[in-house]
């Protein structure tokens, strides 16, 4: 029987090529989009869940409520906190500290190799995270000592090659010998931690200052993780951590917190000092894209159901004849169900193939490996198959049960075609799918306007034609001034400067008191250092006072430059000449200049108070302002002179505009994805309307013929046929606009600098979206409507 159903279904598909093609194409587009986005979402929510204790693992964070701080969530804690918490809080089973080492130069003989992400960790780190260390027992037994290393296979191969044994080898880091005690398989699972080298966080006797720091309660700077006992109350543990901090004289404006490991990847968009966190995601975007996937799936499903039910009316006589010749209700239900399920499953199979091709051979940056995800999670295939079956069943329910239950005599007389049941179902589905489509159009346009706004907003500096060279390695200091002199003599390089940091990176913070103010309430302020050429190289401007000047010998020790935000926060009308106090001995520095505010963090964060110290020597970053002409020649010159001056150090540079724009990478990805999939939703909706207009005209062709005979014009007939759809689109607009506005208001509130949603130009976006949807609907419906109006009425009336 099943074979017979399948054969009849295939014959029906061949007989109704146009409707089958429209149905299949729309469903394939919808399924492909849903599969792609669902894989992306699944990939994003899978971070760090592969660790056995992931559901009980937390990261130590701090809420910084000090004066001067507006972005107050930070991913660091007091150095002593993780260890003290483990000792004093019974609910904490294991705690471990960690420090970020970043790019770490390791020397093998005269050759230096940079690790991209190095971390200092303790042995308990390996008890919290299930890391694939191969010689685990032996490695950890030795790692619990100073100057030990565990390397990933990729980095070990980079340093030692494939033929040399790595374990037991010695590398030099900062003129100290470090022994490789273990190797680890490269991690392929999703993790917020990225590293190629793990260094033992156990200071040697010679590292007394380091040992003193990691056991202190002063300041914030240590990273840490903890595993709580099963059933432990997170809030109760946080209260005990706060009590421990206060008992050790930690400032009461630093409030210790815990962040669940499984929420770190997506829940850290607003957290600062999270620099070791790679591939940071955003839960707002993941939720939004989940909504987009669901909307497009619903649009495609509504289309499929709509077109299937509409097509069923053209087969009503077939059903009637089958009932007359003895076909049972069960067989009729089975036939319609098999047809719709078969088409849905076939569309899903083709969609999976299309997604594989798109993710494997195109430039769509979703950061997903289709085959890996599917092979690691076989239940995904089961889920997609069940989804196709469910949609197939939903599409088949109406024709199966409704048609099969109507009396044969009514079907054969054609009364079913005017039934209000089918009409209201189709109208409802049309409205719902256009609510989704219009909402997505509104979202696309507003998101694009916000991204354009933050990218084009004046940042307070010039990011174009700026090159950063990494000079953080202490071994570079001795030759850096001579290298900089060579660059100053090149006509293609218009300015050179030193800085310890660049906008877009995380700036450090330091405590400061205001002269004459309360000593019990210090300000915690962002800080950086620069030389006297940095302001010019970056195109920054002073609002008051002067820049640093080497002619003033006191500038390095006794002067400070602040930004406008700090002057305003302190309530000063004039800042130049005022004094700030630093350290326990209240060393005084005089404000000599106020720099105009510039964005040193993302647009999600308000510009905070900033202090800029003077450091005229080599200082982490060499900043170059270069001419746009002959850029290739300039880079070749920079590298050639570097290799001549520093033969054992790699030339590590970045174009600053590209580096800074990485801040907006997730925003742009979200905007691009919404753009693409909104376009697909419009196409799917238009396909559905085209198919519906085809069936609607077929059902009313005799009415159209009669109207033409009675004198109706082509314009009147087209208006009659389109009026129904126009009213449905207007209703869809009325429903979609407030829903879209509510979502966009919540999304845009995450940005400190944003467009005004109530602005007239932004409100017009909703009108434009509605008109766009209306035009698409009219174009989709007009072809068949005009064709019907132009047809000879004799042809339609002859069949009566």
pLDDT of the residue at 12? 56
Look up tokens 């110290």; give the residue.
613
Q: Which stretches of the chain drop beneath a pLDDT of 50?
A: 2, 5, 418, 800
Q: How many CA atoms lie within 13 A of 392 on its CB side?
A: 23
pTM attached to this predicted model: 0.80
**Nearest partner of 379 among 46, 677, 54, judged by Cα:** 46
Torsion of CA 640, 642, 643, 645, to 10 degrees: 120
Q: How many CA atoms lie within 13 A of 549 on its CB side?
A: 7
Contact 594, 562 (CB under 8 A): yes
Dist. CA 324–CA 309, nearest whole Å: 22
pLDDT of the residue at 510? 87
CA distances in angstroms from 198 to 61, 172, 406, listed in the order given: 22, 14, 73
Compute how many other C-beta atoms are within 10 angstroms of the C-beta atom of residue 392: 27
pLDDT of the residue at 596? 95
The helix-helix angle for 234-247 and 81-88 (nearest 10°) equals 110
- Per residue, the 3-state secondary structure of 334-346, as one string, reads HHHHHHHHHHHHH
**What are the backbone dihedrals phi and psi of residue 693, each rounded to the nearest 5 degrees, phi first?**
-65, -35
Contact 57, 51 (CB under 8 A): yes
State how far Cα 210 lies from the chain centre: 36
**Nearest partner of 473 among 167, 172, 160, judged by Cα:** 172
**What are the backbone dihedrals phi and psi of residue 376, each rounded to the nearest 5 degrees, phi first?**
-75, -25
Dist. CA 622–CA 656, nearest whole Å: 11
Compute how many other C-beta atoms are within 10 angstroms of the C-beta atom of residue 324: 12
CA distances in angstroms from 243 to 81, 88, 157, 221, listed in the order given: 11, 11, 47, 19
**What are the backbone dihedrals phi and psi of residue 117, each rounded to the nearest 5 degrees, phi first?**
-135, 100
According to DSSP, the residues that pair with 580 across neighbouring strands are 514, 589
Dist. CA 403–CA 411, nearest whole Å: 8
């Amino acid at each position: 029987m099943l074979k017979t159903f399948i054969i009849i279904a295939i014959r029906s598909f061949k007989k109704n090529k146009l409707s089958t093609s429209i149905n299949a194409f729309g469903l394939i587009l919808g399924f492909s989009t849903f599969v792609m986005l669902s894989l992306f979402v699944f990939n994003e929510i899978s971070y760090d869940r592969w660790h056995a204790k992931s559901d009980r693992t937390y990261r130590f964070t701090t809420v910084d409520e000090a004066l001067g701080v507006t972005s107050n969530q930070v991913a660091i804690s007091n150095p002593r906190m993780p260890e003290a918490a483990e000792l004093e809080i019974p609910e904490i089973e294991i705690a471990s500290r960690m420090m970020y080492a970043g790019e770490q130069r390791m020397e093998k003989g005269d050759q230096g190799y940079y690790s991209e992400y190095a971390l200092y960790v303790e042995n308990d780190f390996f008890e919290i995270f299930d890391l694939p260390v191969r010689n685990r027992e032996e490695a950890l037994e030795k790692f619990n000592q100073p100057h030990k290393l565990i390397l990933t296979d990729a980095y070990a191969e980079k340093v030692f090659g494939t033929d040399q044994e790595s374990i037991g080898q010695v590398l030099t880091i900062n003129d100290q010998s470090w022994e490789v005690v273990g190797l680890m398989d490269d991690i392929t699972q999703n993790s917020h931690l990225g590293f190629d080298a793990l260094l033992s966080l156990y200071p040697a006797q010679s590292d007394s200052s380091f040992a003193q720091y990691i056991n202190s309660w002063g300041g914030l700077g240590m990273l840490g993780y903890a595993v709580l006992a099963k059933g432990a109350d997170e809030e109760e543990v946080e209260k005990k951590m706060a009590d421990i901090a206060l008992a050790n004289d930690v400032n009461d404006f630093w409030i210790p917190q815990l962040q669940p490991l499984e929420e770190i990847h997506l829940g850290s968009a607003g957290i600062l000092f999270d620099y070791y966190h790679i591939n940071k995601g955003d839960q707002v975007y993941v939720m939004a894209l989940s909504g987009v996937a669901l909307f497009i799936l619903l649009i495609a499903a509504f289309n499929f159901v709509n077109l299937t039910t509409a097509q069923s009316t053209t087969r009503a006589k077939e059903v009637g004849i089958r009932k007359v010749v003895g076909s049972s209700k069960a067989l009729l239900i089975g036939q319609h169900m098999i047809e719709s399920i078969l088409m849905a499953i076939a569309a899903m199979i083709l969609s999976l193939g299309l997604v594989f091709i798109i993710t494997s051979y195109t430039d769509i940056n979703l950061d997903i490996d289709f085959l890996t995800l599917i092979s690691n999670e076989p239940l995904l295939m089961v889920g997609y198959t069940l989804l196709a079956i469910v949609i197939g069943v939903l599409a088949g329910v109406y024709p199966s049960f409704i048609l099969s239950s109507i009396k044969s005599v009514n079907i054969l007389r054609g009364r079913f075609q005017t039934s209000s049941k089918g009409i209201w179902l189709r109208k409802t589905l049309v409205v719902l799918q256009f609510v989704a489509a219009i909402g997505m159009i509104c979202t696309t346009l507003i998101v694009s306007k916000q991204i354009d706004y933050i990218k084009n907003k004046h940042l307070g500096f010039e990011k174009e034609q700026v090159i950063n060279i990494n000079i953080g390695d202490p071994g570079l200091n001795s030759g850096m001034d001579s290298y900089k002199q060579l660059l100053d003599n090149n006509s293609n390089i218009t300015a050179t400067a030193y800085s310890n940091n660049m906008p877009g990176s995380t700036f450090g913070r330091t405590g400061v008191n205001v002269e004459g103010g309360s000593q019990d309430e210090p300000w915690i302020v962002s800080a950086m250092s620069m030389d006297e050429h940095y302001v010019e190289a970056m195109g920054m401007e002073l609002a008051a006072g002067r820049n640093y000047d080497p002619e003033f010998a006191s500038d390095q020790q006794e002067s400070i430059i602040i930004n406008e935000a700090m002057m305003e926060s302190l309530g000063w009308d004039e800042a130049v000449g005022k004094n700030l106090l630093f350290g326990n001995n209240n060393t005084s520095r005089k404000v000599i200049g106020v720099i105009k505010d510039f964005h040193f963090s993302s647009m999600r964060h308000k510009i905070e108070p900033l202090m800029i110290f003077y450091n005229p020597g080599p200082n982490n970053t060499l900043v170059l302002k270069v001419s746009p002409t002959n850029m290739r020649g300039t880079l070749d010159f920079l590298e050639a002179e570097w290799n001549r001056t520093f033969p054992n150090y790699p030339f590590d540079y970045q174009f600053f505009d590209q580096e800074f724009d990485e801040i907006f990478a997730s925003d742009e990805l979200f905007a691009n994805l919404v753009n693409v999939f909104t376009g697909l939703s419009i196409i799917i909706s238009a396909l559905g309307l085209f198919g519906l207009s085809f069936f609607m005209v077929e059902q009313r062709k005799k009415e159209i013929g009669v109207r033409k005979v009675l004198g109706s014009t082509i314009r009147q007939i087209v208006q009659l046929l389109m009026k129904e759809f126009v009213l449905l689109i207007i209703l869809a607009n009325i429903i979609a606009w407030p829903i879209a506005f509510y979502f966009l208001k919540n999304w845009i509130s995450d940005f400190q600098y944003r467009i005004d949603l109530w602005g007239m130009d932004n409100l017009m976006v909703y009108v434009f979206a509605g008109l766009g949807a209306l035009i698409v609907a009219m174009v989709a419906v007009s072809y068949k409507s005009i064709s019907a109006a132009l047809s000879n009425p004799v042809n339609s009336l002859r069949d009566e």
